[in-house]
Structures are given as structure tokens and as C-alpha cells.
Amino acid sequence: GEFDLPLAAAGLYYDFVVQNSTGIKVVANSSATISIMGLAGNTVSASSGNIVNSTPGTAIRLAAINSSQWVAISQNSTAWAVT
């Protein structure tokens, strides 16, 4: 499925778990980026970018650290990718 994050505001947290091989796509709003730890190391999306994963059982927790940045503060896999 696809999930649109709300406007980033410090203190917001969202958890995502991939339920099946259809996968998941998490989309930032037009003024925010998403930073994750992927196979290539730390990766940051463009504004209104997104992250994807299709490996069942993988999970990620995103935290808004200000009004324009979502950061992965925990994840159990590097299968997450910025697209």
C-alpha cells in the first residue's frame, strides 16, 4: 500500500511494517525529505520523495525532527530504498 506522511513537525513518529510482498511505499509531503539507512549507506530523498520496501516482516520507524525532515530512527533491514 501507499501511505502519505502528514506535514513534518518535531515530535511526530510513524511506524511501518511490510505485511506481504506487494510491499509498502511511504511518501513525504511536498516540503519534506526522508532519510534512511539503505544498502548504499545513509540516503536522503528529494522533497516529496518516498521510500519503498517489499520484504515481508521488515519495519521502519520515522521521526519528524523539524518541519522538513523525516528520519529513520530504527529499522530492522537495509531493504528500504529511496525512490
Q: Distance between CA atoms of 72 and 66, rounded to whole angstroms?
A: 13
Q: pTM of the predicted model, to two decimals?
A: 0.91
Report the pLDDT value the prediction gives residue 78, as an integer from 0 to 100: 86
Report the pLDDT value the prediction gives residue 38, as an integer from 0 to 100: 66
Q: CA-based angle 40:4:75, to the nearest 5?
A: 35
Indicate the pairing of strand 41-44 with strand 50-53.
unpaired
Report the pLDDT value the prediction gives residue 40, as an integer from 0 to 100: 66
Residue closest to 18 by CA, chosen among 5, 32, 3: 3
Query: How does pLDDT run along the chain (83 residues), one tens digit per residue?
Result: 999 999 999 999 999 999 999 999 999 998 999 999 866 667 899 999 999 999 999 999 999 999 999 999 999 998 999 98
